[in-house]
A = this chain, B = another copy of it.
Amino acid sequence: MSEAPAVAVSTVIFTLRPDDDGNVRLAVALVRRIRAPYEGLWALPGAPLDSNDDLQTAAASALYTTTGLEPRYLEQLYAFGQVDRSPDRIISIVYWALVGADEAAAARENDNVAWFFADAIPPLAFDHSLIAEYALWRLRTKVEYSRVALGFLPETFTLAQLREVYEVVLGKQLDPGNFRRMVESADIVQPTGLRLAGTPHRPPQLYRYNPTRDLTDPDPLTRVASASDTGNRDDIRTLGAAS
CB neighbors of B among A58-88 (8 A): 76, 78-79, 81-83
Known contacts A89-B51, A141-B243, A241-B134; is A79 also within 8 Å of B79 by CB? Answer: yes
- Asked whether, in the complex, the Cβ of A79 is within 8 Å of the Cβ of B76, the reply is yes
- Asked whether, in the complex, the Cβ of B221 is within 8 Å of the Cβ of A49, the reply is no
For the complex, what is the distance from the CA of A76 to the CA of B79, rounded to whole Å?
A: 8
User: What is the total number of residues of chain A having a CB less than 8 Å from a CB of chain B?
Assistant: 36
* Chain B residue at smallest Cβ distance from A80: B55
Q: A53, A81, A241: which has the most chain B beta carbons within 10 Å? A: A81
- Asked whether, in the complex, the Cβ of A134 is within 8 Å of the Cβ of B220, the reply is yes
Number of this chain's copies in the complex: 2
- Asked whether, in the complex, the Cβ of B137 is within 8 Å of the Cβ of A220, the reply is yes
> CB-CB < 8 A to A82: which residues of B?
54-55, 230
- Asked whether, in the complex, the Cβ of A51 is within 8 Å of the Cβ of B241, the reply is no
Hey, what's the 0/1 contact readout for A217-231 against B, CB within 8 Å counting as 1?
001110010000010
- Asked whether, in the complex, the Cβ of B221 is within 8 Å of the Cβ of A51, the reply is no
A36 at interface by CB-CB < 8 Å? no
Hey, what's the 0/1 contact readout for A1-26 against B, CB within 8 Å counting as 1?
11111110000000000000000000
A130 at interface by CB-CB < 8 Å? yes
Q: Pick the contact of A81 from B54, B134, B243 — CB < 8 Å?
A: B54
For the complex, what is the distance from the CA of A52 to the CA of B7, rounded to whole Å?
A: 15
- Asked whether, in the complex, the Cβ of B81 is within 8 Å of the Cβ of A220, the reply is no
CB neighbors of B among A196-211 (8 A): none
Known contacts A6-B4, A243-B141; is A79 also within 8 Å of B93 by CB? Answer: yes
- Asked whether, in the complex, the Cβ of B141 is within 8 Å of the Cβ of A221, the reply is no
CB neighbors of B among A89-116 (8 A): 89, 91, 93
> CB-CB < 8 A to A79: which residues of B?
55, 76, 79, 93
Q: A5, A6, A52, A53: which has the most chain B beta carbons within 10 Å? A: A5
A133 at interface by CB-CB < 8 Å? yes
Known contacts A4-B51, A134-B219; can you find 6 more A-B pairs with CB under 8 A? Answer: A7-B81, A54-B81, A55-B91, A130-B220, A134-B221, A242-B242
